[in-house]
């Protein structure tokens, strides 16, 4: 066991801080190399295993190139559930988990919820798990992302209805919703220079970026759709770019929404907004 840990430390020296390295060591051993937790913590000697060595070499090579740990392992935890992730979808963030907790707490009596831009399905599936009496839909424009979402639906034993819909062109209105939630692309193109390579080089750009000239592109379309698709008193919930919180609030008010509330995330950034129709 000590030899495995030393190989990880040597291969990744200087690439990750101490806390990240400890997380990586544990995740690789338990999730990628199938080493038991008991063996990991007691540092028991391991029997020779060429297949394990091959898997470790592959994982270390990918990590050294900057590929996110979650893609290498193939799964990530989110709100107490386990989600399949790869290059087809964004890796769920802690801030998004906070948005889900807000929606779930407010939506005990909701009968229909729609998640627009569902990606891995983490928002829709978690809400379906937390609110078993509620019908949940997840929409995305990407066939590849919907494949991942459907796999996660099966993995977590939920019954979310996933559909391919482009909110920018769709006039779909086959049912009314109590809640519409979305974490659409909101990172400005000009912010790329400040982002880590492990995000830029591996996560899907279509799920991340919007043009600087029109940062509310998707929010406006969803807000307009919500005016047709939400029940009276229904609510929109968005994850937002903190840089755009004030203009988001103004846009939603101008669109006819009220009781608008902005909440900060764990990093004290204005990250979530709710608006009632």
State residue 173's pLDDT score. 67
Q: How are beta strands 112-116 and 177-182 bridged, if at all?
A: parallel
Kindly tell me the burial class for residue 47, based on how many C-beta atoms sit within 10 Å of its own C-beta (0-12, 13-18, 19 or more): exposed
- Is the residue at 73 inside a domain? no
9 and 110 share one domain? no
182 and 246 share one domain? yes
- Is the residue at 75 inside a domain? no
Q: Alpha helix (H) ranges present in the chain?
A: 2-12, 18-27, 37-42, 50-64, 69-73, 94-106, 122-130, 143-155, 197-200, 217-229, 245-254
The residues near 112 (Cβ < 8 Å, ≥ 6 apart) are 134, 135, 136, 137, 175, 176, 177, 178, 179
164 and 271 share one domain? yes
State residue 13's pLDDT score. 87
Question: What is the extent of the structural domain holding 188?
Answer: 86-276
50 and 178 share one domain? no
236 and 148 share one domain? yes
Q: Which of 65, 99, 119 is the last residue of a domain?
A: 65
pLDDT digits (tens, 9 = 90+) for 17-41: 888 889 998 999 898 888 888 888 8
44 and 133 share one domain? no
**Which CATH number is 111's domain given?**
3.40.50.150
Total domains in the chain come to 2
Kindly tell me the burial class for residue 14, based on how many C-beta atoms sit within 10 Å of its own C-beta (0-12, 13-18, 19 or more): exposed
Give the separation between CA 143 and CA 24, rounded to whole angstroms: 31
- Is the residue at 46 inside a domain? yes
Q: Does the pLDDT value for residue 61 go beyond 80?
A: yes
- Is the residue at 180 inside a domain? yes
34 and 100 share one domain? no
Residue 164, H or E segment: strand 161-164
Count other Cβ atoms within 10 Å, centred on residue 17: 8
Kindly tell me the burial class for residue 103, based on how many C-beta atoms sit within 10 Å of its own C-beta (0-12, 13-18, 19 or more): buried
98 and 196 share one domain? yes
178 and 266 share one domain? yes
- Is the residue at 266 inside a domain? yes
For 11, 35, 209, 221, 240, the CA distances from 246, given in Å and listed in that order, are 45, 49, 19, 18, 11
pLDDT digits (tens, 9 = 90+) for 141-194: 999 999 999 999 999 999 999 999 999 887 766 789 999 999 998 777 777 667
Query: What residue has token string 């974490």?
Result: 183
pLDDT digits (tens, 9 = 90+) for 64-116: 988 999 999 999 999 999 999 999 999 999 999 999 999 999 999 999 999 99
25 and 161 share one domain? no
9 and 137 share one domain? no
């Amino acid at each position: 066991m000590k030899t495995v840990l030393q190989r990880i430390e040597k291969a990744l020296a200087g690439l990750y801080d101490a806390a990240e390295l400890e997380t990586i060591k544990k995740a690789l051993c338990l999730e990628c190399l199938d080493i038991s937790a008991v063996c990991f913590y007691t540092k028991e000697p391991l029997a020779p295993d060429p297949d394990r060595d091959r898997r470790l070499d592959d994982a270390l090579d990918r990590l050294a190139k900057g590929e996110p740990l979650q893609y290498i392992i193939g799964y990530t935890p989110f709100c107490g559930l386990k989600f399949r992730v790869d290059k087809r979808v964004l890796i769920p963030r802690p801030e998004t988990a906070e948005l889900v907790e807000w929606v779930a707490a407010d939506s005990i009596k909701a009968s229909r919820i729609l998640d627009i831009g569902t990606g891995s399905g983490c928002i829709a599936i978690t809400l379906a798990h937390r609110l078993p009496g509620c019908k949940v839909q997840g929409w995305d424009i990407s066939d590849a992302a919907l494949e991942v979402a459907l796999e996660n639906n099966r993995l977590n034993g939920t019954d979310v209805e996933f559909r391919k819909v482009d909110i920018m062109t769709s006039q779909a209105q086959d049912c009314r919703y109590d809640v519409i939630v979305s974490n659409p692309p909101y990172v400005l193109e000009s912010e790329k220079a400040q982002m880590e390579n492990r995000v830029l080089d591996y996560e899907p750009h279509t799920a991340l970026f919007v043009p600087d000239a029109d940062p509310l592109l998707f929010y406006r379309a969803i807000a307009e759709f919500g005016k047709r698709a939400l029940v009276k008193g229904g609510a929109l919930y968005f994850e937002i770019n903190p840089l755009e919180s004030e203009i988001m609030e103004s846009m939603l008010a101008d669109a006819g929404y009220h009781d608008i509330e902005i909440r900060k995330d764990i990093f004290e950034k204005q990250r979530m907004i709710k608006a009632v129709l």
